[in-house]
Amino acid sequence: MGLQKNVSLLHYNTFGIDVNAKYFQEFSSLENIKEILSDNSLKQENKLILGGGSNILFTKNFDGLVLKNNLKGIEVVSENEDSVFVKSLAGEVWHNFVLFCIEKNYGGIENLSLIPGNVGASPMQNIGAYGVEIKDTFFELEALNIHTLELVKFNNSDCKFGYRESIFKSIEKGNFIITSVTFRLKKKPIINTSYGAIEQELEKMKISNPTIKDISKAVCSIRSSKLPNPKEIGNAGSFFKNPTVSLEKYNSLKAEFKDIVGYPQNEDKMKLAAGWLIEKTGWKGRQIGNAGVHKNQALVLVNYGKAKGEEVINLAKEVQHTVNQKFGVLLEMEVNIF
């Protein structure tokens, strides 16, 4: 479909926020996107690259061009004795890519099953779950420079991956369209069950010697039981990042709040469970207007129907304020705000 004007984004963001884009166009090939970006009448417009819309909160109409990524294709590009290098174009649905790899018994991303969104957005915040982040298997990506139309390769260290971070979410935000991502996966998978509720779930499934397919099933089952399904209730997953504090700060909090949940990070830092902090301030399950804090997972803000992005942001600010007042910890938003 060609360029469309004044398009509702309601069905293009999992928060279910009803805003319009001034211009909207899907692209399904590199030539296609280069052609759009070369169009003089669109050069001055703001651009937003849209994947599955599962990590976005729109607070107003988008005054510019929304480019919906529809680049499809998965292929094995090379292999050696231990590893296989699998390249996915950016518009593939992330979970379909995970299933493709599991089917072939290529190990490394099974713990990342059922994360919504597209492959192209996965490096943006170095998606992570159950003790695994994509940086662990990421080999390289290709991205088109929006300004020069040059196709550039980024290897693992170029991306400067951090906790739910990369250069694409910070200094290079808006400068590149990620067009493909290549992962280095293991031919002999190493099973990682130590995180969260995976072991309990496997026990429930009566599996003692799990394959990567079993891990994926366990992860899918836990996620489906805990997280609100965006098809039923609008949300973008964790709204805030888990904050990292100094060991000193952690110890002073621990003295006051005996059951505080923290995990050692590198050197003398501790990661706090933001969900726990929010729950302890009494926000879990509360609602202001059409926006609320989910009843099962306090880290997830939800749209109970027709929330405006501003209502969600106002709620997020209230939550930040109360957590900061009680614990002296500032929660950083994980979701991309537009």
β-bridge pairing 244-246 and 234-238: unpaired
35 given a catalytic annotation: no
Check binding of 303 to ligand FAD (CB under 6 A).
no
Q: Are strands 176-186 and 138-145 parallel, antiparallel or unpaired?
A: antiparallel
Closest CA relative to residue 232, chosen from 294, 279, 288, 285: 294
Instruction: Say whether residue 56 binds ligand FAD (CB under 6 A).
Output: yes
Segments in the chain forming alpha helices (H): 30-38, 94-103, 198-204, 212-226, 247-256, 274-280, 309-327
Count of beta carbons in the 10 Å neighbourhood of residue 76: 14
**What are the angstrom distances between the C-alpha of 146 and each of 41, 139, 143, 330?**
15, 22, 9, 34
Residue 336 in the binding site for ligand FAD (CB under 6 A): yes
Only one of the segments 33-41, 45-53, 310-318, 322-330 lies at the binding site for ligand FAD (rule: CB under 6 A); that segment is 45-53
Cβ closer to ligand FAD: 51 or 107? 51
Q: Does 62 bind ligand NAP (CB under 6 A)?
A: no
Rounded to 5°, the CA angle 228-229-235 comes to 70
Site for ligand NAP in 284-303 (CB under 6 A): 297
Residues between 181 and 200 with contacts to ligand NAP, criterion CB under 6 A: 195-196
Indicate whether 69 belongs to the interface with ligand FAD (CB under 6 A). Answer: yes
Look up 286 and say whether it is catalytic: no
| Residues of this chain, 164-193, that bind ligand FAD according to CB under 6 A | 168, 176-178
Question: Is residue 281 near ligand NAP by the rule CB under 6 A?
Answer: no
Among the listed residues 113, 140, 164, 180, the single catalytic one is 164
Residue 238 falls in the annotated catalytic set: yes
Closest contact distance (angstroms) between CB of 291 and ligand FAD is: 15
The sign of the dihedral angle between the CA atoms of 229, 234, 240, 241 is: positive
Q: In terms of Cα–Cα distance, which of 301, 321, 333, 206 is closest to 16?
A: 301
Residues 6+ apart with CB under 8 A from 203: none
Residue 162 lies near ligand NAP (rule: CB under 6 A): no
# chain residues binding ligand NAP, by CB under 6 A: 15
Among 227, 270, 293, 301, binds ligand FAD (CB under 6 A): 227
Q: Which residues are catalytic?
A: 164, 238, 334
